[in-house]
Amino acid sequence: MMRSMFSGVSGLRNFQTAMDVVGNNISNVNTAGFKASRVTFESTLSQMLKIAMAPNGKIGGTNAVQIGLGSKLATIDRIMTQGAFQNTGKKTDLAIKGSGFFVLSDGQRQYFTRAGNFDVDTDGSLVQLSSGLKVMGWMSELDKESGVRIVDSNKPIESVKIPFGMTMPAKETTKMELGGNLNSDVGFGAFEITLKDSSSNPHDVRVWFSRGAEISADSTDPFSDIQRYVYYVDQDGDGAPDAAGVLKMDKFGNVKDGGINAPLVTGSDAATADGSVTLNLTNSYYGDYLVSLKGDDGTVIYTRASIDGNTVTINDDRIKNGVTYNWKVISIGDGKATSNALTVTMAGGNGTVTDPTYTFNGYYKVVLKDQTTGEPVYTTVVKVDNSNTINISAPVDDGNYDVDVLQYYGDKYEVSNGADLVVTKSGSPKFYEADDPTNFIVPDYTTPKYVTATTVYDSLGKDYQLYMEFVRLGTLDENHRNVWIWRAYLPGGERVSYLDKDGNPLDAAIGGVVNFDKTGKIDSYGIIKGGKVSDIDWTNGAKRISFSAKDNGDGVVSIALNFDGISQYAGEFSAATKFQDGYATGSLKSFNINEDGDIIGVFSNGRTDLIAKIALATFNNPAGLTDVGGSLFINSANSGSPMIGEANNGGRGSIVSGALEMSNVDLAEEFTKMIIAQRGFQANARVITTTDQILNELVNLKR
């Protein structure tokens, strides 16, 4: 027989195999996770007819003469390239982006697949429904110390389950982080109004506002709904206040009380040391006052001071030794005008209040009180000009009464003859000209108070609505120019205590204090114990709050506060709680799977928690895996042992939920291979038929 006959036969066999591989690829074009294969051929043995000869003298070398005996199958290679993704929307459909295989098990051995068409069976196990094989990974465990569920991927893998009916225990709130902005542009805006005197001469008057010496109308409650502002009036444009007043605003932006005062006393004194000047007053004064100074070097200083007597020392870094300062003392307080206990004997509706150590000068509110009950029985406002006595006319019974004489405010300030500035004491804050009420200004006003709320929990998961209230004070001194006070409270009236960062109680604290630097970031912390600046303690800041939950829940809730995320800029209020670590108990409602293979449970309390993690396996030679059907592989001697670990780690790919990896079969390429196989088969068949014809001619020679 001719050799070509057997060569053609080998070619037919090989191209039949090639068609088998192409057919298998095409039949699995829609099989999830399928990897296409290819065929390679190699030559068989060749018959030596003449060996190769080396050159010899003048005769050159000759090549060997060989006749090949056909081809044989070399390999069937699996192509492990990434397939495209098909979105399914089913969260248990999983695809692997990158290297790796899902690990499945029947309890005896492990199988590996790229086809992630999984589902949950009746006992919650994640399985391949076509075979019942369980998806392997690690279940989470609760760390009792931290209260966090974790996965230990160093442990042996196990079947992954979705524990429907699982409950999440309640967790007490222990940490709270705040962030966002506190609006620095609050309170009143400055303005200018032009008044005309009796000769129609214009007078430009500038008015601006601040807060500080007194925090609120109620000296024991700085968080009162009535917030107190001091305003200054400059009538000659030198920047030094010529008059001052107070407005007390409610939370709706309406004036509840207030007024305006001209200077009680003026004078001039020279500083005897840098940073300090002592003012010698003509009479004794008691209470809170505005002191306005203008030096002969042009320096303007105004500050608030508490005066008790006929001298007061003003300390300020801008004061220079030897400079003479013209000063004005203006009443801005609403406390007692004298420290003495005063009484009055009323007879026929008249009486005289006398204080031999104090000179009354200006407006005062006089309150008569029953000496037995201490209750006010009559209140009036009087104006006194440099006198130690106040005459009272009141419709009360004859007898003795205790008397409070309180600093008060006038209704208007005379800028010039016939040019009076009037301020309202109720309703909208309005400044107007006495002779022309149509000439008025209503200054812009934004409340300095801001409240945000969050829900916190006790150890049993009982929820409490915790309110955080912030109130801007503004400038207190050179070191504290952007001060806010804050407090926490609960609508149930539970008492909130303030503690330092180590949990030590801050005695007498009724709230915390934060000071911002010029960049809008928190610079320092403190506590507040009352309604005056002197009640602020900057030595220890409130960094923790606590309250008793025994009335509704259990235990003491102690919460560490983090204010680092809060800023103070001229912008909208946005301060809020960014994070608090407590929550109520909850039951598992659903789950999601992320790219790391984490199965995240979604609970009825709105929290999420780690349930399990899906494992992935990689191989040194994934093409060497043995296909056992059902889109499953097992490792072989040449694939190497599986390297099992977490997704997105160790070269393993990431997991895509809600999608399946499609076959990587390229139909265009497969049809091309089909044509090649067909033509190759035809050509080899032609070799056989041609050889047959030759043999037939040989047989015919004997005829």
User: By mean pLDDT, which of 49-58, 521-530, 541-550, 628-637 is the weakest?
Assistant: 49-58
Which pLDDT belongs to residue 282? 82
Tens digit of each residue's pLDDT (9 = 90 or more) over 582-620: 999 999 999 999 999 999 999 999 889 999 999 999 999
Pair (224, 100) in one structural domain: no
pLDDT-derived band at 216 (thresholds 50, 70, 90) equals low
20 is a domain residue: yes
Tens digit of each residue's pLDDT (9 = 90 or more) over 671-700: 999 999 999 899 888 888 988 888 888 888
Which pLDDT belongs to residue 490? 94
Beta bridge partners of 559: 545
Percent of the chain with pLDDT strictly greater than 70: 99
Which pLDDT belongs to residue 525? 96
The residue-averaged pLDDT of 90-99 equals 95
Longest dimension (CA), the chain: 171
Tens digit of each residue's pLDDT (9 = 90 or more) over 407-456: 888 889 999 999 999 999 899 999 999 999 999 999 999 999 999 999 99
Average pLDDT along the chain: 91
Tens digit of each residue's pLDDT (9 = 90 or more) over 488-520: 999 988 899 999 989 999 989 999 999 999 999
The residue-averaged pLDDT of 471-488 equals 90
Q: Which two tokens stand for residue 359?
A: 């000179």
Pair (310, 355) in one structural domain: no
Pair (518, 562) in one structural domain: yes
Percent of the chain with pLDDT strictly greater than 90: 70
pLDDT at residue 220 greater than cutoff 80: no
Pair (674, 641) in one structural domain: no
The domain containing residue 324 runs over which residues? 187-334+422-445
Which pLDDT belongs to residue 125? 95
The answer to whether the CB of 645 falls within 8 A of the CB of 153 is yes
412 is a domain residue: no
CA torsion angle 6 7 9 15 (round to 10): 170
Which pLDDT belongs to residue 703? 67
Q: Which two tokens stand for residue 680?
A: 């190759």
The answer to whether the CB of 456 falls within 8 A of the CB of 464 is yes
pLDDT at residue 331 greater than cutoff 70: yes
Which pLDDT belongs to residue 3? 79
Q: What angle do CA 307, 311, 314 make, to 5 degrees?
A: 75
Domain count for the chain? 5
416 is a domain residue: no
Q: Which of 136-145, 299-308, 412-421 has the highest mean pLDDT?
A: 412-421
Pair (31, 91) in one structural domain: no
Q: Which of 629, 644, 661 is the last residue of a domain?
A: 661
Pair (503, 569) in one structural domain: yes
365 is a domain residue: yes
Q: Which of 560, 580, 600 is the last residue of a domain?
A: 580
How many CB atoms lie under 10 A from the CB of residue 252?
Answer: 8
pLDDT-derived band at 554 (thresholds 50, 70, 90) equals confident
pLDDT-derived band at 11 (thresholds 50, 70, 90) equals confident
413 is a domain residue: no
Pair (257, 315) in one structural domain: yes
Pair (688, 543) in one structural domain: no
398 is a domain residue: yes
197 is a domain residue: yes
* Nearest residue to 45 via CA among 13, 72, 16, 8: 72
Instruction: Give the contacts of 307 (CB within 8 A, at least 6 positions apart).
Output: 281, 285, 286, 287, 288, 289, 329
Tens digit of each residue's pLDDT (9 = 90 or more) over 246-284: 998 998 899 998 889 889 889 999 999 999 999 999 877
Pair (222, 276) in one structural domain: yes
Pair (101, 54) in one structural domain: no
Pair (473, 531) in one structural domain: yes
**H helices of 248-394, where?**
none
501 is a domain residue: yes
The answer to whether the CB of 162 falls within 8 A of the CB of 611 is yes
Pair (565, 493) in one structural domain: yes
Which pLDDT belongs to residue 212? 61
